[in-house]
Amino acid sequence: MAIEAVVLAAGYSSRAEAFKMELAVGSRTVIERCIAGMYDLCGRIIVVGGYQIERLEAVLRDYAKVELVENPRYAAGMFTSVKEGARHVRGERFFFTPGDYPLISPAVCRSLLAAEGEIIIPVHGGRKGHPVLLAGKLAAELVREDDSYNLRDFIQRKGYQTLEVAEPGILLDLDTQADYRRILERIREGGEANEP
């Protein structure tokens, strides 16, 4: 079964006070850590860039499975990047996540792939996280949605299954410097390390 991923990395990172995709988490950047959890399970990883895309190119150039695509309309909102990523999906199933989730582990991704359903969302402690796993046939439907829509509404409308996982890393995104410190602390404690 052809497995792919769509990773969003087009935003301004304004709340992080830095270009957050380049921030170091352990020995890798945030975006590298994000794709690492899915890398061995995917034939392609579609990273959607926009703001500072040339910096993403520099970080990701050595990853053979990564296809960096540009969303020229990224300033119009995140859903335009969702649609741009979906436009490139050819696999039978695909993971979806924003690129600022650096603690996604291979174990969580394998668990999602072992589950059945068109849309599967990992849950920890009653809270939904990332990555979400979707059937490839839904990509074309996403592309046709209006820009004013969002992925959450799409998922609610289509219906989904949840999968309880033991790892809180599925909940930890990086929007602010406080989030960054929290993630670094978790790494120091040895939590959700997806280093090789």
Report pLDDT digits (tens) over 80-128. 999 999 999 999 999 999 999 999 999 999 999 999 999 999 999 999 9
Query: Which domain covers residue 132, as residue numbers?
Result: 3-188
Residue 186 has what pLDDT?
A: 87
Residue 22 belongs to a domain = yes
Q: Is 109 helix (H, G, I), strand (E, B) or coil?
A: helix
Q: How confident is the model at residue 67 (pLDDT cuts 50, 70, 90)?
A: very high
CB 7 within 8 A of CB 99: yes
Please check whether residue 118 lies inside any domain of the structure: yes
pLDDT tens, 91-102?
999 999 999 999
| pLDDT for 77 beyond 60 | yes
Q: Which residue has the higher pLDDT, 169 or 191?
A: 169
CA dihedral 78, 79, 85, 87 (to 10 degrees): -150
pLDDT tens digits, 7-61: 999 887 667 667 889 999 888 999 999 999 999 999 999 999 998 899 999 999 9
Q: How many CB atoms lie within 10 A of CB 85?
A: 27
Which CATH number goes with the domain that contains 144? Answer: 3.90.550.10
User: E strands within 73-160?
Assistant: 93-98, 119-124, 127-128, 132-135
Is residue 36 in a domain?
Answer: yes
Q: For residue 195, is it within any domain?
A: no
In a domain, 193, yes or no: no
Radius of gyration of the CA atoms of the chain, in A: 15
Phi and psi torsions of 184, nearest 5°: -65, -40
150: tokens are 């969002």
188 burial level (CB within 10 Å; 0-12, 13-18, 19+): exposed
Domain presence at residue 194: no
On the question of pLDDT at 70 being above 80, the answer is: yes
**Number of folded domains in the chain?**
1
Q: What is the 3-state composition of the chain as percent helix, strand, coil, each rounded to the nearest 5?
A: 40, 25, 35
Q: What is the pLDDT, as a whole number, of residue 187?
A: 86
Q: Is residue 196 part of a domain?
A: no
Q: Does residue 190 surpass a pLDDT of 80?
A: no
> Is the dihedral angle over the CA atoms 11, 132, 143, 41 positive or is it negative?
positive
pLDDT of residue 147: 84
Whether residue 193 has pLDDT greater than 80: no
Q: What's residue 195's pLDDT? A: 47
pLDDT at 20: 87
